[in-house]
Amino acid sequence: MSKASATAKQAKVVAPKEGSILDRGYTPYQGRYTPEASRWQVIASRMLRMSARQWWAILIMVATVIPLLVSAVQMWIMSKLFAMAPPGVAVTSPDTYMMLPWGTMTLAFLIALFAGAGQVADDTRAGAFQFYFARPVTRDQYLVGKVMPVVVMTMFIALLPALLLSLLRLALLPSGAEVVKKLPLVGATIIIGTVEALVLAIPRWRSRRCRGGARTCRAATRSCICCRGSSAPSFPR
Amino acid sequence: MTAATLLEFSDVHKRYGAHHALRGLSLSVPAGTVGLLGPNGAGKSTLMKVLLGLLPFDGTAAVLGHDVRAQPSQIRARVGYMPERDCHLVGMSAVELCGYAAELSGLPPSEAMQRAHMVLEFVGLGDKRYQRIDGYSTGQKQRVKLAQALVHDPKLLLLDEPTNGLDPQGRDEMLTLVKSLPARTGCSIVLSSHLLHDVEKVCERAILLHEGKIVYSGTIEALRKEGQKDVYELRVKDGEDRLQKALEQKGLRVEREGLMLVVQLHNNVLRAHNIDDARPTDLLFAVAAAEDVQVRHLAPRRLTLENAFVRAVNEAKAS
């Protein structure tokens, strides 16, 4: 028998069966562990990444960016070619309030609705509470981790375009002294944008009376996860 | 509690409304492979959730030396849990899920991803790791569940019905893998199942649960021995009824299993008939000879785990 055919035969003998469980080695973990308090960040960043892949998220992001670009170009043309002051540059001007959350209210509402509504409901349906709470993750960390992506995404829609437009308005002002004078515009934008984002994001997590009795749940889940210690089951069976 | 104690619980009660799921369980279990046996509804899954601190309960319990109520995080960081029901997250691939599980258990992102790849290779899903779990077969989903429980290198694995929904070949592979885990990973295992074969194949010790109570705790070998002590199987040529009646008249407990007579020889009965304890079967031969019945087969009873389980449950019911 030739050497090549012997090798081929040996390979045939040891070839693993498709789909069978095989020992491909196991190495004990000896590395470091992250602080327990940071687990909400893991949940939040994962949720953010998962949401950002969805078609509706991409669509809403695009719908947010296009009007921003159009508005910015329009403002630049008006300022450079026709020497007109950018609209809404005065904090007290009604234009400011019209322009700050410029057309983003509906989009921010939609993203809060899409991103927020299914987060906990999906976990309930998939039995994922067992996945989360069998690990060193507290209920508070879970809830913060689920709320934060909705807040971040809503702020991206409600705050970021308004902030960029405000900065552009300041940039188009003729003198530095005038820019300093108009700086409160940025603060007003941040406050209004943040309030708008929170108003839209937080109601996704409305309170609901707990099945356990007097306490109040912070998540609108079918199975109450906030009543540990009471007589009611705190964990979906 | 010693360092080698895996689980320790005392007077643990758990109620779901009017249903009393766990009724005053008290036990200390050493490290190793432990089978949690019982019919559906016996309280196995509830006990596992209690040990993880996922359910409120009455009594005290400790896992790996940590109090379940006071230190649930320390326990969960050292324990891997494979739930009975699906627990995958919608839209994730196996490698994403395992990486996420590792990060939630405290591993930094890069290490978490490395471990996710390693454990998926380890359970035989290396080539399917980038597929979405929604499209997996039942067997593949079971393996993903095992992988996510193993990914953070736990000291104790709680496996809740790991062979659920698997075909015979898949079940065999899963059990072979689970059996090899303690030697290869250094972890202890608590395996919950209503399938005695699964526990028999994997575990050294067993805890039998019935209606929320422990009916046996100890090694599987001892359970078998306890059940078969002084019990003999007897097959004769005709005259089974006659012989059974005669043996019962002598004060022996006799049960019929088809043509087989199962006889329990008590020491006090042997002594009453002046039979040497070292030769207990002499009494059977003497009775058979007196009844003119030909003995075809006489042997000590070899109990299967099924028999032992049924016996333990019946004894618990009787008491």
Domains, chain B, ranges and CATH?
5-219 (3.40.50.300), 229-318 (3.30.70)
Check A29 against B121: CB less than 8 A apart: no
What sign does the dihedral B299-B304-B305-B309 (CA atoms) show?
negative
What are the chain B neighbours of A21 within 8 Å (beta carbons)? 123-124, 143, 173-174, 176-177
Check B111 against A237: CB less than 8 A apart: no
Q: Is the pLDDT of residue A208 over 70?
A: no
What are the chain A neighbours of B15 within 8 Å (beta carbons)? 231
| Residue B304 near residue B257 (C-beta atoms within 8 A) | no
What are the chain B neighbours of A236 within 8 Å (beta carbons)? none
Check B87 against A234: CB less than 8 A apart: no
Tokens, residue B213 = 């109570």
Q: Is the pLDDT of residue A204 over 70?
A: no
B6-35 residues touching A, CB cutoff 8 A: 15-17
Q: Is the pLDDT of residue A57 over 70?
A: yes
Cβ-Cβ contacts under 8 Å for B138 (sequence gap 6 or more): B165, B166
What is the tens place of the pLDDT at every residue in B191-233?
998 888 888 889 999 999 988 999 889 988 888 776 666 788 8
Confidence of residue A90 (pLDDT cuts 50, 70, 90): low
What are the chain B neighbours of A233 within 8 Å (beta carbons)? 16, 55
CA dihedral B243, B247, B250, B251 (to 10 degrees): -150
In percent, how much of chain A has pLDDT > 70?
A: 64
Chain A: residue nearest B118 by CA? A26
What are the chain A neighbours of B17 within 8 Å (beta carbons)? 231
The predicted pLDDT at position A1 comes to 45
The predicted pLDDT at position A25 comes to 73
Tokens, residue B311 = 């016996």
Predicted TM-score of the model (pTM): 0.73
What are the chain B neighbours of A140 within 8 Å (beta carbons)? none
Which chain A residues have any C-beta within 8 angstroms of a chain B C-beta? Answer: 19-29, 31-34, 36, 39, 42-43, 46, 50, 53, 122-123, 125-128, 130-138, 228-231, 233-235, 237
Tokens, residue A4 = 């090549």
Number of CB pairs < 8 Å for A and B? 128
The predicted pLDDT at position A194 comes to 78
Distance from CA of B99 to the nearest CA of A (A): 10
Check B121 against A25: CB less than 8 A apart: yes
Tokens 């019990």, residue? Answer: B231
Average per-residue pLDDT for chain B: 87
Confidence of residue B153 (pLDDT cuts 50, 70, 90): very high
Mean per-residue pLDDT for A172-187? 73
What are the chain A neighbours of B123 within 8 Å (beta carbons)? 21
B111-140 residues touching A, CB cutoff 8 A: 111, 115, 118-119, 121-124, 126, 139
Strand partners, B81: B158
Q: Is the pLDDT of residue A75 over 90?
A: no
The predicted pLDDT at position A123 comes to 82
Confidence of residue B94 (pLDDT cuts 50, 70, 90): very high
Chain A: residue nearest B152 by CA? A29
Q: Is the pLDDT of residue A73 over 70?
A: yes
What is the distance between the alpha carbons of residues B308 and B287, in angstroms, rounded to a whole number? 28
Strand partners, B207: B36, B217
The predicted pLDDT at position B114 comes to 93
Check B89 against A128: CB less than 8 A apart: yes
Strand partners, A162: none
| Residue A55 near residue A61 (C-beta atoms within 8 A) | no
What are the chain A neighbours of B127 within 8 Å (beta carbons)? none
Q: Least CB-CB distance to B100: which of A26, A46, A126?
A: A46
The predicted pLDDT at position A221 comes to 40
Q: Which of A231-235, B109-113, B158-162 is predicted least confidently?
A: A231-235
What is the tens place of the pLDDT at every residue in B169-201?
889 989 998 998 898 888 999 999 888 888 888
A82-86 long-range contacts, CB within 8 A, separation 24+: A85/A173, A86/A168, A86/A169, A86/A172, A86/A173
Tokens 């019209």, residue? Answer: A98
What is the distance between the alpha carbons of residues B46 and A28, in angstroms, rounded to a whole number? 29
Check B148 against A131: CB less than 8 A apart: yes
What are the chain A neighbours of B107 within 8 Å (beta carbons)? 29, 31, 33-34
B267 and chain A in contact, CB less than 8 A = no
Q: Which of A123-137, A220-234, B18-32, B75-89 is predicted least confidently?
A: A220-234
B49 and chain A in contact, CB less than 8 A = yes
What is the tens place of the pLDDT at every residue in A119-177?
777 788 788 888 999 999 998 999 889 888 888 888 888 778 778 877 887 787 777 77
The predicted pLDDT at position A101 comes to 53
SS (H, E, C) chain B: CCCCEEEEEEEEEEEECCEEEEEEEEEEEECCEEEEECCCCCCHHHHHHHHCCCCCCEEEEEECCEECCCCHHHHHHHEEEECCCCCCCCCCEHHHHHHHHHHHCCCCHHHHHHHHHHHHHHCCCHHHCCCEHHHCCHHHHHHHHHHHHHCCCCCEEEEECCCCCCCHHHHHHHHHHHHHHHHHHCCEEEEEECCHHHHHHHCCEEEEEECCEEEEEEEHHHHHHHHHCCEEEEEEECCHHHHHHHHHHCCCEEEEECCEEEEECCHHHHHHCCCCCCCCHHHHHHHHHHHCCEEEEEEECCCCHHHHHHHHHHHHHHC
Check A20 against B124: CB less than 8 A apart: yes
Confidence of residue A236 (pLDDT cuts 50, 70, 90): very low
What sign does the dihedral A135-A138-A139-A141 (CA atoms) show?
negative
Confidence of residue A229 (pLDDT cuts 50, 70, 90): very low
The predicted pLDDT at position A233 comes to 36
Q: Least CB-CB distance to B180: which of A23, A39, A231?
A: A23
Cβ-Cβ contacts under 8 Å for A90 (sequence gap 6 or more): A96, A182, A185
Q: Which of A75-79, A146-150, B13-17 is predicted least confidently?
A: A75-79
Tokens, residue B302 = 């070899």
Any idea how long chain A is? 237
The predicted pLDDT at position B143 comes to 92
Best of B90, B95, B104 to mutate (most A CBs within 10 Å, chain A): B104
Q: Least CB-CB distance to A20: which of B55, B108, B173?
A: B173
